[in-house]
Amino acid sequence: MLSYQEARDWLQQRARPLTLRQTVALPQAAGRVLAEPVEAGIDVPPHPNSAMDGYAVRCAELSGPLPVSQRIPAGADPQALQPGSVARIFTGAPIPAGADAVVMQEQATVDEAGLVSFSVAPRPGQNIRPRGEDIARGQCVIAAGRRLSPADLGLAASIGLAALPVLPALRVAVFFTGDELVEPGQPLAPGQIYNSNRYWLQPALQRLGCEVIDLGRVGDALEPTRQLLRDAAAVADVIVTCGGVSVGEEDHVRAAVEAEGELTLWQVAIKPGKPLAFGRVGEADFIGLPGNPVSGFVTLQTLVRPFLLLRMGLKPDEAAPARHRADFEWTRPDPRRSEFLRVRKVAGDGGWMLQLYPQQSSGALTSCAWADGLAWLAPGQAVSPGDELAYLPLDGQ
């Protein structure tokens, strides 16, 4: 069996980042991956401006009450400050030439004649935002390979950009195999089960930023499975299935992939999990997840998610996992496989503690719904309360 690290590295080495470029308007760019670095063509702010409502002044002239020579709202083009006067100014408004400070209105008094005096002597530069304080012309403001956040889009707008170059969304086709599968809402006949994999896999992929193409269910037959693979390869960058890649007589996905392309089938030393398939059908990558819902869920989080992020043009987080103390005991570790226990962070004395879901069976999908992360144990690693464990947060939790 491949170790967890070996399988993860093998997959990441074969991830082919998308190369096409698209230019999309800012409202459509949220969540997309930036294809090229963004540099500022202007200074932000483009001119010195007032940090608050008050009065623009020349500090050397404040020996007594002074008249107001102009009013400067945001967006105005002010005249130079007349000698021996002050200017009424508002937040964000340009500083008039000749002024070197802004006094907040709370520190100003206006007499009956309209003359202004101040309770505090200002310092030069006070309450003035200098030109380029936030962004300087030519500065790289958003690096390539970043998933664009709402703040990034606001940043792009602040330098005058209406559109951004992005990578296309990764198209992932999914289908599910098995005569026994029934969609929720329909009655179960003897021997049938509900297709739960469809309803966690699709949103998990969408949350990553993939464009999911749902091709439904295929029965346990070779020719329909081959046709569905051809259909998927024609429209997708990656094909993901759950189940059907083992060696049983009714496991037709393996034979279909081998007939339509190429397939590598592993036993990966992880628990839950173990069987994982990777291959190619046409130009599309193929990933066969275990059919057991918990095994498929954990395998997607630990092995497939980093591969998909690289395919999307993103870099998986390479930082060492966070470590938190266990508040449980694990006395019968698997001697050969890395284990991923479904856990939840809870506040404890001195930091986070990890609670263990009581049912760690690979058939207990309730553990995945309850957990906010996985405790990663090395092969043979037992756990006593207080032990520090590597913690992998579940995507989206």
- Which of 311, 338, 356 is where one domain is finished? 311
State whether 162 and 174 are in the same domain. no
DSSP run (H or E) holding 222 = helix 222-235
Domain presence at residue 209 = yes
Q: What is the pLDDT of residues 342-358, one digit of tens each?
A: 999 999 888 999 999 99
pLDDT at 178: 84
State whether 293 and 337 are in the same domain. no
Task: Using a cut of 0.75, tell me whether the model's pTM lies above it.
Answer: yes
- Which of 286, 311, 336 is where one domain is finished? 311
Token match 């498929």: residue? 296
Computed over its alpha carbons, how large is the radius of gyration of the chain? 31
Question: What residues make up the domain containing 234?
Answer: 4-17+169-311
pLDDT at 247: 54
CATH number at residue 358: 2.40.340.10
Three-class secondary structure of residue 54 per DSSP: strand
Q: What is the pLDDT of residues 40-84, one digit of tens each?
A: 999 999 999 999 999 999 999 998 899 999 999 999 999 999 999
Domain presence at residue 316 = no
Helix, strand and coil in the chain, % to nearest 5: 20, 35, 45
218: left (phi over 0), alpha (psi -120 to 50) or beta: beta
Tokens of 158: 């602040």
State whether 109 and 141 are in the same domain. no
- From residue 66, alpha-carbon distances to 51, 53, 173 in Å are 22, 18, 73
Q: What is the pLDDT of residues 202-258, one digit of tens each?
A: 999 999 999 999 999 988 889 999 999 999 999 999 999 987 666 554 568 888 999
Q: If you count them, how many residues does the chain have?
A: 397
State whether 202 and 299 are in the same domain. yes
Cα-Cα-Cα-Cα dihedral sign, residues 233, 235, 239, 240: negative
Q: What is the pLDDT of residues 326-339, one digit of tens each?
A: 999 999 999 999 99
State whether 304 and 173 are in the same domain. yes
Cα-Cα-Cα-Cα dihedral sign, residues 338, 170, 253, 216: positive
> How many domains would you assign to the chain?
4
Average pLDDT over residues 306-330: 92
pLDDT tier, 397 (very low <50, low <70, confident <90, very high otherwise): very low
Average pLDDT over residues 180-186: 91
Residues linked to residue 288 through DSSP beta bridges, in sequence order: 241, 277
State whether 246 and 290 are in the same domain. yes
Average pLDDT over residues 355-377: 95
Domain presence at residue 317 = no
State whether 198 and 215 are in the same domain. yes
- Which of 252, 280, 311 is where one domain is finished? 311
pLDDT at 250: 54
The conformation of residue 363, written as its DSSP 8-state character, comes to: T
Question: How many whole angstroms from its chain centre is CA 29?
Answer: 14
State whether 9 and 90 are in the same domain. no
